[in-house]
Amino acid sequence: MTVPVDQAARDRIRTDTASTLFVNAGAGSGKTTALISRILTLVLDDGVPLASIAAVTFTEKAGAELRDRLRAQLEAERRTSEGERRVCASQALDDLDGAAIGTLHAFAQRILAQHAIAAGLPPVLEVLDEVGSSVAFAERWAVLQTALLDDDDMEEPLLLGLAIGLKLEHVRSLAKALGANWDLIASRVLVGDPGPIRLPDLTAFLRQARDVVASAATCTNADDLLLPKILAVSEPLTALEAAIDDGARMSAIRAISALKFSHGRAGSWADIDAIRTAAKDLAADATELVAGLLDACLRRVTRWTAERVLDTAAARRRDGRLEFHDLLVLARELLARDAAARADLHDTYQRLLLDEFQDTDPIQIEIAVRIAGGADADQAQWTDVVVPSGRLFVVGDAKQSIYKFRRASIATYLDAQEHVGEPVSLTTNFRTVAPVLDWVNTAFSQLITATPQAQPAYEPLDQFRDELGRGSAVVLLGADAHTDLPRAAAAILREREATDVAGIVRHAIDDHWQVYEESAHAWRAAELSDVAILVPARTSLPFLEDAFEAAGVPYRAESSSLVYEAAEVRDLLACARAIADPTDELSLVTALRSPLFGCGDDDLWRWKRDGGRFVLWSRKDEDATGPVADALLALRRLSAAARWSSPSELLGAIIDDRRMLEVAATGPRARDGWRRLRFVVDQARAWSEVSHGGLRAYLAWAAFQGQEATRVAESVLPETDVNAVRVMTIHAAKGLEFPIVIMSGMTAQPNRPRGVQLLWPPAGGYAVKLGAGVQTGDFDDVAPVDEQMDAMERVRLLYVAATRARDHLVVSLHRAAGSTAGTSAAILAGAAGATDGLSFVAPTLQTPHRQVPQATVVSVPPYDEWQRGIVAARASAAKDASIVASGLEGTEPEVVLTDVIDPGLAKGPRDLELPPWSKGRYGSAIGRAVHAVLQTADLATGDGLPSAAAAQAVAEGVTAQVQLVEDLARSAIVSDLVRRAATRENWRETYVGTLQDDGTILEGYVDLIFRDDDGTLVVVDYKTDAIPAGAVESRVVYYRPQLEAYARCVRDATGAPVRAVLLFLHPEGSVEREVGLDPSFAGDR
């Protein structure tokens, strides 16, 4: 029998239980077997009870596997052994179910449960799963958002931040990121005072901007390309000069910072170089002003948010409702400060074994070291703790550290390697055939090189398997770089790669490649289910799917997906929304047009033409017939059942009633559709168990899942009835092995991080980026270090993929010739010898191209004309497709406001994404509630006003202000203007829009329109601004552009004369002011 070259190391792991060992276990080296052998020695030979051993694994699956293999070994020992060894095996089997074998979080929970009082926890703990944590965060954010908007101290940083790019969605994402790292807040975020926010004196900047605008007068050519760019400064300059607050000033400065100055002919200007330099300096100064102020705002907002995140963490501790990260932090905190807890745990767990150490949170090693160190392990740094010999055993592989996004730190691994135990290496690979190992060693010995605190030294893997089956062990796709690619050829590369992948799969099956069947100890012909295609990201998945379908290769994607963006899930939730709110016409029509009911636009048009209504409960339509009537009847049945059903039960009823599973079976990817629908129902069930909420609350939570582009890891049960290729991410394949591995998706560029980026520099502090241009001043200095760590992890990810193969490895090296882009293929091809091997090209790539008729040659326009067209096209593309009328307020040049306006009462534009049952205009909470009441209240009598005000106050979360909402709404209803409207033809909350001369759409929603006795249409806009009486006239000027926009839309649509009136609402009585419009509004256009 062949003896592994590292047998001495394996023997030491098994027998040297008196020493603390740190094992570097290469891929496929049998580390689980080595771990089990050490546990068996401790239990059977050293007499250590299994109840006194803690084995910490990376996943629950690994823990279950370890437990099962231990059970099998112990049962064999009990059958074959005698005496004390048999007694120990029997006792270990009795202890196995209760033994501390499982994930780090499970171990931390066990520690806290045993020392709940010392940890400041109630005796009974509840650990929230992923859904529970998501629901809890949504509840916390609702409270935090209200507190943020109500905090007077945050008014200045928040308003300034909103003016220069910050959004409330950013703060929400920031709160989530801080919550995932709340243990770092005290030492990184809450140190020092962020200081006041001061806008510097702008006198010099204004002079600089005016000089740039004035320089346009020196241009002698009206068609010069630089001229419109210089003149573009005038608009934000005018806004800056008319700005009434710092927010408006910074918004104008931000607009200047975005300007670019290039092109232009020297002969057209007095001194083009000086003018261009001055303009660029202006933009650079504007950028610096914005960056400085944005940094100050972000520091204040981050600190405020971080303090609240710590408060919510403390509340979770008091309530005993913990999330996964809480378990680790609280366990570490307990062990760091409580000597009695350390002593007790030291006695309880005589041996600690840590598996897959490279992939776990850095907190793990500190927990383990302090337990192993006992009562005396109170040093400030865990690296200073003295660990008694034999107490700790660590096994991992730094080359497989790929979970940085889950806080796994390779620097911690390398530190622990220096401070914990004696190093032992397992290098013999039992998994992979020799040619594959040779390729892996050749490539990665060059790509993985020792870098302090960032990358380990490469240890070559030693072969153990000598046998080879039929078929090439290593095959390269795209070994030669492509020289015939046009620019922007990413899609072409992916198509070629996918074609080759499908081709090699078909070739392997048709050529009868062999794979080794471990259970039969024999080689057999490969099947499709033996093939695993591993991709670093899902970018290439659509191309693979197309190639597989074209080649007739069955496949199964076993990975996460954007579940809530899938078409069948959107249809399901639209149907649920229509049931949740019978007045939501948009969701109802969406559901009717979906495959669930199959109503076409012609059906909907005929229904509307014949007087039908898109209202779920309409007695008028009960006797109607046709597709729409049948669909509404089905929805009414579901709606009636929904009153007594949980969200998951309703979703299941919709799926059954509409035969969604059966319909999916007719499509090409039925199993994927089934899995997603089952997953959504399961999550709805989990949500109900946590929140006990109703359908509307569930739909609000589900909407967040879609808005955040939530990638949900779908648990895929083995489907033994399908012989299909498996496609999965490399992360999902970690810890698995496959007879044939194809490394695909190698053409993709590294993904740029999206969403919030919260970085923790090694030197301390933090840097944050919330969106494009919304970042702290030091982010660009810190990001390159983080990017370098990502690049090194990317190489390790490729190593993990390559070492999953048992019998055959296929590597895609598709890349463009001469490209310096850091694609995975380019990285691998850059290693000497990595391109040596059998090359394969799918036959479809070798077929001649189809003859295309020669196109007519069009003459090229003059360069200046072409350049002007480009500038015009870019300017047109930069414009908003539509302008909201309510966004024009304050743009009147005459506006000069000195009074202080309560921003909490100002009304903003409608947000169409908010839940439809929250009726009304969408500005502040009070403003929204008031406008919602006025949309539904009886304008003539005011009947139902108190109940409507109470309902909307609850909907907007301002129950304490219900009387104010009612008084403001009543002040409108009792006004002469609204009383006059109530007795005439009127329209409330009416959409208006018109096409402007520049092609943009001007649109908005008018609170109230009525036709006066002389035929004039009167536009009424309610304002809930809390302003002093002396400031009313200035507010009329402020709102004039908005009212003129409304008037223009109404006039263009009707041709009738228009008047515009502002109605300022106040509990003591409303104030009516007519807005002076251009005389053209008094008659036909």
Enter the tokens of residue 890.
């304050």
Helices and strands (H, E) in the chain, number of each type = 38, 28
Nearest to 440 by CA among 75, 73, 805: 805
CB contact set of 877 (below 8 Å; sequence gap of 6+): none
Contact 849, 492 (CB under 8 A): no
Contact 664, 567 (CB under 8 A): no
DSSP code at position 127? E
What pLDDT, on the 0 to 100 scale, is given for residue 619? Answer: 61
Enter the tokens of residue 337.
């400060």
In angstroms, the CA 442 to CA 832 distance is 8
Element housing 175 (H / E): helix 168-179
For CA atoms 606, 612, 615, 617, the dihedral sign is negative
Contact 276, 264 (CB under 8 A): yes
What pLDDT, on the 0 to 100 scale, is given for residue 716? Answer: 45
In 3-state terms, what secondary structure has residue 17? coil
Max distance between CA atoms of the chain, in angstroms, equals 110
32 annotated ligand binder:
yes
Contact 944, 909 (CB under 8 A): no
Nearest to 741 by CA among 682, 784, 805: 805
Contact 509, 527 (CB under 8 A): yes
In angstroms, the CA 180 to CA 309 distance is 10
Within 10 angstroms of residue 188's Cβ, the number of other Cβ atoms is 16
Q: Please provide residue 477's backbone torsions phi and psi, each rounded to the nearest 5 degrees.
A: -105, 130
Contact 885, 1049 (CB under 8 A): yes
Enter the tokens of residue 102.
């499982």
In angstroms, the CA 660 to CA 676 distance is 11
Q: Please provide residue 174's backbone torsions phi and psi, each rounded to the nearest 5 degrees.
A: -65, -45
In 981-1010, which positions are buried (b, 16+ CB within 10 angstroms) versus exposed (e)?
bbeeebebbbebeeeeeeeeebbbbbbbbb
Q: Residue type at 949?
A: A
1069 annotated ligand binder:
no
- Integer CA distances (angstroms), 303 to 188, 297, 771, 1022, in order: 10, 10, 18, 37
What pLDDT, on the 0 to 100 scale, is given for residue 559? Answer: 53
29 annotated ligand binder:
yes
983 annotated ligand binder:
no
What parts of the chain have a pLDDT lower than 70? 1, 487-488, 558-562, 618-622, 706-721, 751-752, 819-821, 837, 844-858, 878-879, 886-924, 1082-1085
For the whole model, what pTM was predicted?
Answer: 0.76
Span between the terminal Cα atoms of the chain, in Å: 99
25 annotated ligand binder:
yes
In angstroms, the CA 641 to CA 579 distance is 10
Within 10 angstroms of residue 682's Cβ, the number of other Cβ atoms is 15
Contact 76, 92 (CB under 8 A): no
What pLDDT, on the 0 to 100 scale, is given for residue 562? Answer: 59
Beta bridge partners of 728: 534
CB contact set of 245 (below 8 Å; sequence gap of 6+): 159
Contact 157, 296 (CB under 8 A): yes
Within 10 angstroms of residue 608's Cβ, the number of other Cβ atoms is 12
**Tokens 């928040």, residue?**
158
Within 10 angstroms of residue 598's Cβ, the number of other Cβ atoms is 13
In angstroms, the CA 766 to CA 744 distance is 36
What pLDDT, on the 0 to 100 scale, is given for residue 972? Answer: 93
Within 10 angstroms of residue 567's Cβ, the number of other Cβ atoms is 11
Enter the tokens of residue 32.
């689980």
Q: Residue type at 325?
A: H
Q: Residue type at 257?
A: S
What pLDDT, on the 0 to 100 scale, is given for residue 902? Answer: 40
Give CB contacts under 8 A, 24+ apart, made by 822-827: 822/749, 822/750, 822/791, 823/746, 823/747, 823/748, 823/749, 824/536, 824/743, 824/745, 824/746, 824/747, 824/748, 824/794, 824/798, 825/478, 825/746, 825/747, 827/447, 827/794, 827/795, 827/798
Contact 743, 802 (CB under 8 A): yes
Nearest to 990 by CA among 973, 972, 971, 1003: 1003
What pLDDT, on the 0 to 100 scale, is given for residue 915? Answer: 40
- Integer CA distances (angstroms), 58 to 463, 466, 521, in order: 26, 32, 30
**Tokens 């002593």, residue?**
343
DSSP code at position 1082? G
In angstroms, the CA 587 to CA 342 distance is 58
Beta bridge partners of 525: 514
Element housing 706 (H / E): helix 695-707
Give CB contacts under 8 A, 24+ apart, made by 273-276: 275/212, 275/215, 275/218, 275/226, 275/230, 276/226
In angstroms, the CA 285 to CA 293 distance is 12
- Integer CA distances (angstroms), 775 to 68, 257, 419, 758, in order: 49, 15, 37, 10
Enter the tokens of residue 464.
């153990």
Element housing 504 (H / E): helix 490-510
In 498-507, which positions are buried (b, 16+ CB within 10 angstroms) versus exposed (e)?
bbbbbbbbbb
∠ CA 241-247-253, nearest 5°, is: 55
Q: Residue type at 426?
A: L
In 3-state terms, what secondary structure has residue 640? helix
- Kindly tell me the burial class for residue 464, based on how many C-beta atoms sit within 10 Å of its own C-beta (0-12, 13-18, 19 or more): buried
26 annotated ligand binder:
yes
